[in-house]
């Protein structure tokens, strides 16, 4: 999902919200907050934006 989003979007916040929305859709439009937590963890843990976390 990230690779697809990063090809079409350049803003980190746009990519984040696109990933959240995609996961939210795949879960049957339930638990948006949980989707935000999962994507936040993915972004932080995997350093998907190629930046060093402080």
Please give the average per-residue pLDDT across 9-29, as a whole number.
91
Write down the pTM of the prediction: 0.76
Domain membership of residue 38 as a residue range: 2-46
Is 54 inside any structural domain? no
> Could you tell me which residue, 35 or 54, shows the higher pLDDT?
35
Is 33 inside any structural domain? yes
Q: Which residues contact 51 (CB under 8 A, 6 or more apart)?
A: none
* Contact indicator for 16, 39 with CB cutoff of 8 Å: yes
Domains in the chain: how many in total? 1
Annotate 2-31 with b (16+ C-beta within 10 A) or e (fewer).
beebbeeeeeeeebbebbbebbbeeeeeee
Is 26 inside any structural domain? yes
Is 18 inside any structural domain? yes
Is 52 inside any structural domain? no
Is 51 inside any structural domain? no
């Amino acid at each position: 999902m990230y690779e697809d989003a990063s090809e079409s979007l350049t803003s980190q916040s746009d990519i984040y919200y696109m990933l959240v929305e995609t996961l939210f859709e795949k879960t049957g439009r339930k638990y948006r907050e949980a989707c935000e937590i999962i994507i936040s963890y993915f972004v932080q843990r995997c350093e998907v934006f190629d930046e060093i976390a402080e």
